[in-house]
């Protein structure tokens, strides 16, 4: 297998890189480089710039607004986007529910939702996890009972990222309690403005409030908002999670963070030499770069195999990317924490109401919150332990 890029692919990389440099607003890029919090308006603004170029939903079919790019071009685009660094198009719409609607939704759903997802006219969130159903997602209990042309939904979702901004939520709900638990789940699209929905924020260890609890009390959902067949939602969820796990590898972003590590580690520390001159630190950094290169080669092999894979079936190799990508991103955050040194513990959360002044250099402020926040990467999208089970069963045949 030849993993080298062709001259045409290298020219395409140059085109994408030039666009990112010319079109990404400087304030957004600065926040990304410094690891600071992005506002909703930042994400909307950038996605609409991409959509105007035709690049917000490049992996969708061309007739739905996507690009007829090869898997290698898709990979190059994502790599350059992450290395810019630029925000990804909102994944809950573009990479999760959008592909599910394209693959399994009705024509009416495609016409109604897809253009608004591409332009971020609708902000979507994901209603999968519940207090008793996280990694064991099939144990979910949020119930939807059919009542004429509506479902009546009751239950609770948790760890719902950015639900405070959302216009819509895609939900897994239980419509049948008989038989295997995976066989009684349905995929619904629910308007967040519906009567009976309550969003309650969860303040996380880093001081942020990006995740929420969402409660459903007799929420009426039109049957026309069901994706695919009743009780077949588990199949659609597996398809969605396969897409999510591949993106979690975030090779390009880890490359950019390593460049940032080298930049910050080269700064003269108070009363001492730059950390980059420490042999042990350089060993850690070199080891991390080797791990990242191995992950990149694995991802390229997965990309090369996409030409022959059924796009409606989940790819078990995405679990490998998810595990290693999560481990590398967490290792990156640990090295950043080592650079910030004694300024790691006292930090001012990037939220309203913080009453502690910044300690140390300005660039140090976001590092500790990022370290704490990134503990979640090995959990969301299916915990790393669950991914190992998938690999054992689907790849190793154990």
Residues catalogued as catalytic = 244
Rg of the chain over CA atoms, in angstroms? 22
Please, how many CA atoms are within 13 Å of residue 394, restricted to the half-sphere of its CB? 15
In this structure, are residues 185 and 175 in contact, taking their beta carbons and an 8 Å threshold? yes
Burial per residue of 73-93, b for 16 or more beta-carbon CB atoms within 10 angstroms, e otherwise: bbbbbbbbbbbbbbbbbbbbb
| Site of tokens 């666009």 | 19
- Report the distance separating Cα 86 and Cα 291, nearest Å: 23
- Report the distance separating Cα 15 and Cα 12, nearest Å: 5
């Amino acid at each position: 297998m030849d993993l080298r890029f062709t001259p045409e692919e290298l020219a395409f990389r140059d085109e994408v890189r030039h666009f990112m440099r010319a079109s990404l607003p400087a304030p957004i890029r600065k926040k990304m480089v410094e690891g600071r919090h992005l506002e909703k308006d930042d994400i909307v603004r950038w996605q609409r710039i991409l959509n105007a170029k035709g690049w917000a939903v490049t992996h969708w079919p061309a007739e739905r607004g996507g690009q007829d790019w090869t898997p290698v071009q898709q990979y190059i685009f994502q790599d350059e986007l992450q290395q810019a660094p630029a925000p990804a198009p909102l994944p809950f719409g573009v990479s999760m529910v959008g592909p599910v609607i394209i693959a399994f939704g009705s024509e009416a759903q495609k016409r109604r939702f897809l253009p608004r997802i591409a332009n971020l006219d609708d902000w979507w969130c994901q209603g999968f996890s519940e207090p008793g159903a996280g990694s064991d997602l099939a144990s979910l209990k949020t119930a939807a009972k059919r009542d004429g042309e509506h479902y009546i939904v009751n239950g609770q979702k948790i760890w719902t990222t950015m639900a405070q901004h959302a216009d819509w939520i895609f939900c897994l709900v239980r419509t049948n309690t008989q038989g295997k638990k995976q066989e009684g789940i349905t995929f619904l699209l629910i308007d967040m403005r519906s009567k009976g929905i309550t969003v309650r924020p969860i303040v996380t260890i880093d001081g942020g409030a990006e995740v929420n609890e969402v409660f459903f009390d007799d929420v009426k959902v039109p049957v026309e908002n069901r994706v695919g067949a009743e009780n077949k939602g588990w199949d659609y969820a597996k398809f969605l999670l396969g897409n999510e796990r591949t993106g979690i590898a975030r090779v390009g972003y880890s490359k950019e963070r390593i460049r940032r590590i080298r930049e910050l580690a080269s700064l003269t520390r108070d009363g001492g030499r730059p950390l980059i001159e420490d042999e042990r630190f350089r060993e850690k950094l070199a080891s991390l770069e080797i791990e990242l290169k191995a992950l990149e080669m694995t991802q390229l092999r997965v990309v090369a195999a996409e030409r022959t894979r059924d796009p409606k079936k989940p790819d078990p190799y995405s679990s490998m990317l998810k595990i290693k990508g999560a481990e590398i991103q967490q290792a990156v955050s640990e090295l950043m924490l080592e650079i910030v040194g004694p300024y790691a513990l006292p930090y001012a959360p990037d939220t309203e109401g913080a009453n502690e002044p910044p300690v140390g250099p300005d660039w140090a402020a976001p590092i500790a919150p990022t370290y704490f926040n990134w503990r979640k990467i090995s959990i969301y999208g299916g915990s790393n332990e669950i991914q190992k089970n998938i690999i054992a069963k689907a790849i190793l045949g154990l």
